[in-house]
Structure 1
C-alpha cells in the first residue's frame, strides 16, 4: 500500500469568508486543525467571535474580521488582517454567501444584485486581493472558491445563486491559467451538506430536520446523493490548501456525505455537420435524430430512497 501523505499546514495563513457558522466554520476549523492560522470572517460579530473561540479552545489560532464581502475595500481588509496578525497570506477560501430565492418573474433587481454581489463579486474581489498579495510575497498560494451543484446544473427558483456559482466555476478555470506561473493553484469545491441554506431546498428539507432531531442520514443519501454534515465537507479544504494538492488546479471538486467527486467541465456532447453550413430548415430536419436526440438534463435531482 502507498504511504498516506501528511497534510500539514503549519505556518500557513488562511482567510475563510463567511466562516462564523455552517460550512465556513467547518472549513476554518479544519484548516486550523491542520496547523494553519485562520482569519475568520462574518458579518455577524457574535458568530465570528464564537467561531474564533471554538478554534482557539481546540488549540488553533484564529482572529475575527467582521466585514461584508463584495467590495474591494472589504477584500483588502481581510488580506491586510491576515498579514498584520500572521505576517503573510497563503490560502483564500471564498465561502461567504446568501440566498434570495424567487422564480424568474418574481425576482427583483435587489434579489438578484444582493446574491451576485456576495457570491460572484465577493469571490472576485477577495481572490484578486489574495492574488496580489501572494504574487508579491512569492512562494505560491491557494485560492479555494466555493461553488454549488446549482451552478453546475441549475436549480428551480435560484436564478441569481445558480448564475453566480456557475460564474465561480468559470473563474476557477480562468484563474488557474492566469496564476499558474506564480505557483498559485485555483480550484472550486462543490459541497453538499445540511445547512440553513440547504434547508430552503424542498427535496432536502426533511432530512435536515431529521438531523436536527438526532436521526442519522440514511446510506442512500450519504453515498448516493453525497449529502451529509458540514463537517463531512471540511476535509477537502485543507487537502487543496496543502502541498499534497500542489498539482491540482482548475478543477471543480465535489464532496458531501461519504462521497468525493470530480465534476466534468462543460463539453460538446454531440455534433453534426452540414457541407456549406446550416440553414434553419436543415437544423429542424436533423435535430431530433442527431444532435438533439439525447438532450442534457437540468436541475438537482431530488433524493430518492432505494425503494422509490
Structure 2
C-alpha cells in the first residue's frame, strides 16, 4: 500500500509514544486496489543507492538473509530487492495489489498481512523495508511488530519518492489536482527509541520516466486523493491535465521525465 506524499520530506521529530491513527481503514488507504494494474504501470521504482542505504547493517551483522517488504503494493520496491538477500518476502493487505505482485514476481513469497499484523514468526527476518508506505501504518503497533520479527542486528529502511516541486510544471501538476485535506502528517515520527537506535536519513536525486502524456495521466490516477474523488471531479482533473500538457513541450514527448528525489530513513534494532 503506497502513496506519493506531496508535502515536504519527512523530518525526524521526537517519538510520540502511543500515537495512533486510523489510516489503514481510511478510504485513502483502501483506494489503491481499484487501480492496481495502472499503479504497477505508472508508479516509480527506487534507485539502487537508496536500497544500499536502507539495508546497511551494523558492523559484524553480516549480509541480510531474509528481507521483508512491508506494505509491498504491486511489488515496485520488492523487485529491486531480488538478489540482495537469500529470500525476499512481500506482505500487503490489499488483495488486488497482492495479486498483481504475485503474478509479476512469482519467485517472491507473497503474503496477505499488514505492518500491524505481520504473518511471520518471531526473529525471522534480517531487514524490513517499506517503500512509500510507512505513513499508512498504525503506531506504535507497527514498531512493536518490526521489533518482534527482526533478528538481532536487524534494520528497518523506510523509503519515499518525492517530486521536485521546484520545477514549474511539477508544482502545477499537484495544484491542478486540488488535493483535499489528507489525514497524514508531513513529519516523520521515528520508530520507538526503546526498540530502535537513532534514525539516519539521506536524500538522493532520482528521475521517473513515464510513457508519454498518457503515462503522466496514469500516474495522477494512482494518487489516493484523485482515486477517491467522484467521476465528475476526475474528469475536471483530466481536463486541467490536458491543458498543462499543451503548455509544456517536455510533457508531449514519448518519454516524460518526472524529476524527483528519494529519501531514506534507516533505524537499527537495539
TM over 0.5: no
- TM-score w.r.t. length of structure 2: 0.44
Higher strand share: 2
Higher relative contact order (CA 8 A, sep 6+): 2
Higher helix share: 1
